[in-house]
A and B are shown apart, each in its own frame.
Chain A
Amino acid sequence: MINLKVVSPQKVIFEKEVEMAVLPGAEGDFAAMPNHSPFISSLRPGQMAIMSSNKVDESFFVSGGLVMLKEKVCEVLVDQIEPLSEINSSNYQKSKTYQELDGNDTALSTFEQVINNPIYK
């Protein structure tokens, strides 16, 4: 298990033990698992998925940020994050993330894509 800690500038969103987390790194998706080599990367807009035994437990949209991966700890510093369980294609335009991304077209289209057609389901 790896300790996944998701933090926004305002607060700690959550912190928990997970088997594996897939993150949208700047140069491609990668999976954070225990004993990964120490690694720092920026994030592109995309889907973050928490997985156990090859199934997606929870799924989020992140608008960008940073990740610091150590042996047993994965710290994700996100700009905006939105859990995908609560939104769908009809109401996502009302979400806070959508409002805040206003004007950032690449992030918005990725947001739309992640909702309508997530890579990890």
Chain B
Amino acid sequence: MPNLKELKNRISSVKSTRKITSAMKMVAASKLRRAQELAESSRVYADSLSFILSSLAGNTKNSSDLPEILTGRENSKISLLIINSSDRGLCGGFNSNLFRNAKKWVSDQQEQGKSVKIMTVGKKASSFYKKTDLDIVASFEDLNSNDRQLQVSEEIKNKIIELFENNEIDEVSILFNKFVSAISQEPTYQSLIPLNNEETSEDESEPNNAVFEFEPDKNELLEYLVPRNFLTQIYRSVLESSASEHAARMTSMDNATRNAGDMIDRLTLTYNRTRQAFITKELIEIISGAEAV
């Protein structure tokens, strides 16, 4: 027969767990709203920038005129993957989904005969990839405020440009959890080098044939635009990933709260039954004692 005291302790510990998870859910919900706003409001800039870039690149007839950093190298051998994870856990399958996807990507690349380098964002990715034998070029952690997110994006941008110019990498992709809705996030790849133009031209409803004049000339503009575009795309993926993280935490904490509730119900039932059994047992003892006298 279960011990009454043990049961009582267990109920109170599950109760405090429920309090914590429900508080975390509430916090995640309010953070999600803010992160979502940020992600949405940064979209305008990113869309305009990629529109400008694609009209600039589309205007140049001969693609060999474009800088390598835009079109990529012909014989690309080394790919870099930037993985956007979270700093903290307790957010369901958010990180493990991402890592599973990344693993597949890495083996795909290796089958194509390319070597892979990794850049991690967030504590979870850096502690996960430390244990693997992959080449980690840089790790960024503590993306806890918007200013810091922008700063990290800037650092990542500088790093990839430096690596590309030193011929240490030929391709760059970024992996992040795309925010679809509060209950669904999907791991998404985006290619930074070479620049993936298809998506932007689909998004723009207006035809891209307006002939723009450029000032200063195209090459100088590209020199300014290409790093800007990296920064914006990286920043956007960081924001998306943070919105997804809060959403994932919200749903998983909601589930945890509900499970804790069910558990408390079950435990309370057992507790009451046990208590009743004790009382009955004692009564029987008293009655049978009295009868014996």
Contacts and interface: CB of A to CB of B under 8 A. Distances in A.
Interface in B174-230: 210-216, 220-221, 224-225, 228
Given A9-B232, A10-B146, A40 B45 contact: no
B147 to A, nearest CB: 10
A11 interface: yes
B48 interface: yes
A84 to B, nearest CB: 22
B286 to A, nearest CB: 75
Interface in A63-80: 66, 68, 70, 75, 77
A43 to B, nearest CB: 10
Interface in A1-37: 7-12, 25-27, 37
Interface string B42-85: 10110011011001100000000000000000000000000000
B38 interface: yes
Contact of A40 (B41, B52, B150, B228): B52
B292 to A, nearest CB: 85
Interface string A77-91: 100000000000000
Contact of A10 (B42, B56, B216): B42
B235 interface: yes
B41 A11 contact: yes
Counting contact residues on chain B (CB < 8 A from A), the size range is: 20 to 34
B225 A66 contact: yes
Contact of B224 (A7, A10, A42, A75): A42
A42 B216 contact: yes
Interface in B12-42: 38, 41-42
A39 B215 contact: yes
Contacts of B44: 7, 11-12
A75 B42 CA distance: 15
Contact of B48 (A7, A10, A41): A7
B41 A10 contact: yes
A12 B52 CA distance: 17
Nearest to B41: A11
A25 B212 CA distance: 15
B235 A27 contact: no
Contacts, number: 68
Counting contact residues on chain A (CB < 8 A from B), the size range is: 20 to 34
A42 B41 contact: no
Contacts of B231: 9
A8 B42 CA distance: 8
A9 B46 CA distance: 7
Contact of B215 (A11, A27, A70): A27
A68 B48 contact: yes
Contacts of B51: 68
Contacts of A26: 215-216, 220
Nearest to A69: B212
Contacts of B210: 38, 70
Contacts of A39: 212-215
B55 to A, nearest CB: 7
Given A9-B150, A10-B38, A66-B225, A40 B48 contact: no
Contacts of B56: 40
A41 B214 contact: yes
A11 B52 contact: no
A9 B213 contact: no
Given A42-B221, A66-B225, A75-B48, A11 B211 contact: no
Interface of A: 7-12, 25-27, 37-42, 66, 68, 70, 75, 77
Given A26-B220, A42-B216, A66-B228, 8 more contacts: A7-B44, A10-B150, A11-B42, A26-B215, A38-B211, A39-B212, A70-B210, A77-B45
Q: Which 9 A-B pairs have the closest CB atoms?
A: A11-B41, A41-B215, A38-B212, A40-B212, A7-B45, A38-B210, A39-B213, A9-B45, A26-B216
